[in-house]
A and B are shown apart, each in its own frame.
Chain A
Amino acid sequence: MASEEDSAVKEPLDLIRLSLDERIYVKLRSERELRGKLHAYDQHLNMILGDVEEIVTTVEIDDETYEEIVRTTRRTVPFLFVRGDGVILVSPPLRTT
């Protein structure tokens, strides 16, 4: 669990630094998720991602049955600049435990 790499995490941004050139998961506002390779980032969490898959989830309420209809839309983008203020969560790939 507490691997040597974990001990290198002194501040939260170290977690991002350790994920450079790795595929990461990014959760954004308005129900958007990204998976892509992290090429660069800064202190605002502005990020350059490569080979990105974007997943947009929309929930609609059926007018008659009031059922929630969840739709996901996917697209792939070769290169993406993400503005940091939309970021909620960043998760590095699962490390070998």
Chain B
Amino acid sequence: MSGTGEKGSATTKTPGDFLKAIRGRPVVVKLNSGVDYRATTKTPGDFLKAIRGRPVVVKLNSGVDYRGILACLDGYMNIAMEQTEEYVNGQLKNKYGDAFIRGNNVLYISTSKRTLADGA
């Protein structure tokens, strides 16, 4: 986004500066195996900040999925969700208006494109 791309005005001086400079930029990471990973660089913390208010899927160690809007979360990965739906083996089992999930049970948090409960 830094549209001031004059030639030779590179601000990266050291490899460390380069790594700082590319945060948030699209990158390609090539492994020795030849596999490419293409994504935008972020830290896990950046991800967690960015997904508040977004629809998410939270998978627990037990395999149960919770889908809903992420209200907030803390350092223990305790999670507050809204309009939460509980899925066991892919089947909707329960709905909660608000739900608190204790962080130790969380396997992962993933964003979802699902439009909410459009069970109209």
Total chain A interface residues with beta-carbon distance under 8 A: 23
Which residues of chain A come closer than 8 Å to B97, judged between CB atoms? 91-92, 94-95, 97
Are A88 and B72 touching (Cβ within 8 A)? no
Q: 1/0 per position for A1-33, CB-CB distance to B under 8 A?
A: 100001001111111100000000100000000
Q: Is the interface of B mostly helix, strand, loop or mixed?
A: strand
Among residues of B, the one whose C-beta sits closest to the C-beta of A13 is B78
Q: 1/0 per position for B69-110, CB-CB distance to A under 8 A?
A: 001111000111010100000000000111111101100000
A77 in the interface (beta carbon within 8 A): no
Are A92 and B98 touching (Cβ within 8 A)? yes
Compute how far the CA of A88 lies from the CA of B99 in the bound complex, rounded to whole angstroms.
Answer: 10
Among residues of A, the one whose C-beta sits closest to the C-beta of B105 is A88
With A85-B104, A88-B60 as known contacts, state yes or no: A12 contacts B72, CB within 8 Å.
yes
With A91-B98, A94-B97 as known contacts, state yes or no: A12 contacts B60, CB within 8 Å.
no
Which residues of chain B come closer than 8 Å to A95, judged between CB atoms? 97-98
Which residues of chain A come closer than 8 Å to B98, judged between CB atoms? 15, 91-92, 95
Which residues of chain A come closer than 8 Å to B100, judged between CB atoms? 12-13, 15-16, 89-91
Which residues of chain B come closer than 8 Å to A1, judged between CB atoms? 82
Among residues of B, the one whose C-beta sits closest to the C-beta of A94 is B97
Which residues of chain A come closer than 8 Å to B102, judged between CB atoms? 45, 84, 87-90
With A6-B82, A89-B100, A91-B97 as known contacts, state yes or no: A13 contacts B105, CB within 8 Å.
no
A-B contact pairs, 14 of them (CB 8 A): A1-B82, A11-B78, A12-B74, A15-B71, A15-B80, A15-B100, A88-B62, A88-B105, A89-B100, A90-B99, A90-B102, A94-B97, A95-B97, A97-B97
Apart from A87-B102, A95-B98: 4 A-B pairs, beta carbons within 8 A: A11-B78, A12-B74, A88-B101, A91-B100
Those 5 A-B pairs whose CB atoms lie nearest each other, nearest first:
A12-B80, A12-B78, A91-B96, A90-B100, A94-B97
